[in-house]
Amino acid sequence: MTLTILFAAGPDMWAEYERPLRDALAKVAPETRLVTEADPAEVDYVIYAPKSPLQDFTPYTRLKAVLNLWAGVETIVGNDTLKAPLVRMVDDEGLTRGMVEWVAGHVLRHHLGMDAHIVNPDHVWDHRPPPLAPERRVTILGLGALGSACAEALARFDFDLSGWSRSPKDLAGIACHAGPEGLMPALDGAEIVVMLLPNTPETENVLNAETISKLAPGAVVINPGRGPLIDDDALLAALDDGRLGHATLDVFRTEPLPAEHPFWAHPKVTVTPHIASETRVSTASQAIADNIARCEAGAPLVGRVDRDAGY
């Protein structure tokens, strides 16, 4: 029977995705109808993105899964009209590789103290070599698909690594902590903190005045996770009084970051415009097609969201 796949991620994304998706689907599920409009009762799969106009899934009575093109699902996870499985982007090699490169770059920037040499208007010969990686305490909050890939990459430099997740983990070269009681030990003395948690009620403001106080003096915060993970006022206060040395932020409570937001002008904040990693069209199209093929073969979907946990 022909499968109907509704691309509901909006017209801009359709222009990019139509050809790669058709090609990827042709290889794994030839009997498909990939469309941007359909009778809801005939739709088998929905391909979704955060700005999708589709909000009411009630008439989608035949739906087998909603496949989100992004890794974060906070805009759809609480949608009670959706009864079918929700799947986030997790199997996209481009997304993971991009995040590893971005995180490694920003960790190394701060580890090596590059800023002092890149911007050195007085031409100061400051001969203080940076410490080596084993002497640098780095903590990664979130050891999921992206956090563990970043941890693995940083472990190759031999950073003194700790990590934190909801469920216990055992990862080579990383001191793994889990659950609410594991947070403070994970942060204790960290000089660089990388935040790769999802945005859920449990993770909101995980970086706050109390948790910041556990970090090493002058620590650096790198947040490619989600804006609400940070209490912005506490972050700014800690940057202003020197408890924190720098914050590199890719994600914000409001995006694009409003022009008047204090982060833009703050000398100790680097703003990047939600570019840490991006779902890459060709690899993501393949990941979507593979997941549909898996589901049709009766195998478990990769990246299925736990709706109760919120990610």
Considering only residues 109 through 148, tell me which ones interact with ligand NDP, judged by CB under 6 A: 142-147
Give the C-alpha separation, 154 to 136, whole Å.
11
Whole-angstrom distance, CA of residue 311 vs CA of residue 305: 5
CB of 213 to ligand NDP, least distance (A): 19
Taking the complex as a whole, the smallest distance from the CB of residue 243 to ligand NDP amounts, in Å, to 23
Pull the structure tokens for residue 79. 């949608």
Nearer to ligand NDP, 44 or 147 (CB): 147
CB neighbours (10 Å) of residue 84?
Answer: 17
Listed ranges 7-15, 128-136, 198-206, 211-219: which one lies at the site for ligand NDP (CB under 6 A): 198-206
Q: Is 274 a catalytic residue?
A: yes
Give the C-alpha distances (Å, rounded to integers) separating 145 from 38, 89, 198: 33, 10, 11
Q: Which of 200, 211, 285, 286 binds ligand NDP (CB under 6 A)?
A: 200
Query: Both tokens of residue 21?
Result: 């998706």
What's the min distance (Å) between Cβ of 120 and ligand NDP? Answer: 30
Q: Which of residues 70-89 bind ligand NDP (CB under 6 A)?
A: 71-72
Nearer to ligand NDP, 60 or 70 (CB): 70
**Catalytic site residue from 274, 294, 304, 307:** 274
In the set 109, 166, 243, 246, which binds ligand NDP (CB under 6 A)? 166
Per the annotation, the verdict on 97 as an active-site residue is no
CB 43 within 8 A of CB 81: no
What 135-138 contacts at long range (C-beta under 8 Å, 24+ apart), as own/partner pairs, is 135/160, 136/111, 136/160, 136/191, 136/192, 137/162, 137/189, 137/190, 137/191, 137/192, 137/216, 138/107, 138/111, 138/162, 138/190, 138/191, 138/192, 138/193, 138/194
Considering the candidates 110, 137, 166, 226, report the single residue annotated as catalytic. 226
Question: From residue 237 to residue 266, what is the string marking binding to ligand NDP with x (rule CB under 6 A)?
Answer: -------------xx---------------
> Would you mind telling me the total number of residues written for the chain in this entry?
311
In sequence order, the β-bridge partners of residue 304 are 87
Residue closer to ligand NDP by CB (options 218, 300) is: 300
Which three-class secondary structure state does DSSP give residue 3?
A: strand
Region binding ligand NDP by CB under 6 A among candidate stretches 40-48, 164-172, 208-216, 292-300? 164-172
Nearer to ligand NDP, 165 or 286 (CB): 165
Across the beta sheet with 65-68, what order do the strands follow?
32-35, 3-7, 45-48, 65-68, 86-87
Q: Which of 208, 201, 220 is nearest to 183 (CA)?
A: 208
Q: Which is nearer to ligand NDP, 109 or 226 (CB)?
A: 226
Chain residues in the site for ligand NDP (CB under 6 A): 71-72, 90, 95, 142-147, 164-167, 196-200, 202-203, 224-226, 250-251, 274, 276-277, 311
- Supply the residues annotated as catalytic: 226, 274
